[in-house]
Amino acid sequence: MKYTKGPWHACHNGECSCHMVWSIPHDCVVAVGIGAKDENYTGGEGIINEAIITANTRLIAAAPDMYEALKAMADIHSPYSPKVAHDMADKALAKAEGKGE
């Protein structure tokens, strides 16, 4: 699969109002986190919850890391040991949760 090379970076860990996600190697924007006006996810109809958008932005930014970690875990011929693959997954999850990078 070909995609814009990671790692991707959420501007100010997803907390910036621009909600941009950058590819660090390519120095370009690959995505912008947005939120839906959905009362089930925003706490009120028509109100966009900034925390949800921040979480969406972080999740998008962690996508390449999660993809690589899952590939390392799923591929029996992976060049990574199970321990390294597990560490990759832990780091990707931490990044998605705003605790990494």
Residues 10-29 interacting with Zn ion (rule: CB under 5 A)? 11, 16, 18
* Candidates 7-15, 21-29, 50-58, 93-101; binding stretch for Zn ion (CB under 5 A): 7-15
Smallest distance, Zn ion to C-beta of residue 48, A: 17
Using CA atoms, how far apart are residues 60 and 19, in angstroms rounded to an integer?
10
Task: Return the number of the residue (38 or 101) whose C-beta is nearest Zn ion.
Answer: 101
Three-state DSSP class for 95? Answer: helix
Q: Angle at Cα 33 formed by Cα 38 and Cα 97, nearest 5°?
A: 95
- Applying CB under 5 A, which residues contact Zn ion? 11, 16, 18
